[in-house]
Chains A and B, each alone.
Chain A
Amino acid sequence: ETGVTQTPRHLVMGMTNKKSLKCEQHLGHNAMYWYKQSAKKPLELMFVYNFKEQTENNSVPSRFSPECPNSSHLFLHLHTLQPEDSALYLCASSHGGTSGRADTQYFGPGTRLTVL
Chain B
Amino acid sequence: GQQVMQIPQYQHVQEGEDFTTYCNSSTTLSNIQWYKQRPGGHPVFLIQLVKSGEVKKQKRLTFQFGEAKKNSSLHITATQTTDVGTYFCAGREVGTGANNLFFGTGTRLTVIP
Contacts and interface: CB of A to CB of B under 8 A. Distances in A.
Is the pairing of A and B real? yes
Interface of A: 1, 31, 33, 42-43, 45, 48, 50, 55-56, 90, 94, 96-98, 100-110
A94 B106 contact: no
B71 to A, nearest CB: 17
Chain A interface, DSSP helix/strand/loop, else mixed: loop
A90 B98 contact: no
B98 A105 contact: no
Given A103-B98, A107-B43, 14 more contacts: A43-B106, A45-B101, A45-B102, A45-B103, A55-B99, A56-B100, A97-B98, A102-B98, A103-B33, A104-B45, A104-B48, A105-B35, A105-B43, A108-B42
Contact of B50 (A43, A90, A94, A100): A100
A71 B48 CA distance: 24
A40 to B, nearest CB: 10
Interface in B88-113: 88, 90, 92, 97-106
Nearest to A31: B99
A105 B90 contact: yes
Nearest to A56: B99
B68 interface: no
Contacts of A110: 42
Given A103-B92, A109-B42, A48 B99 contact: yes
Interface of B: 31, 33, 35, 41-45, 48, 50, 88, 90, 92, 97-106
A105 to B, nearest CB: 7
Nearest to B98: A102
B100 to A, nearest CB: 7
A48 B98 CA distance: 11
B50 to A, nearest CB: 7
Contacts of A105: 33, 35, 43, 45, 90, 101
Contact of A42 (B31, B92, B100, B106): B106
A56 B102 CA distance: 12
B103 A103 contact: no
B30 to A, nearest CB: 9
Contacts of B33: 103-105
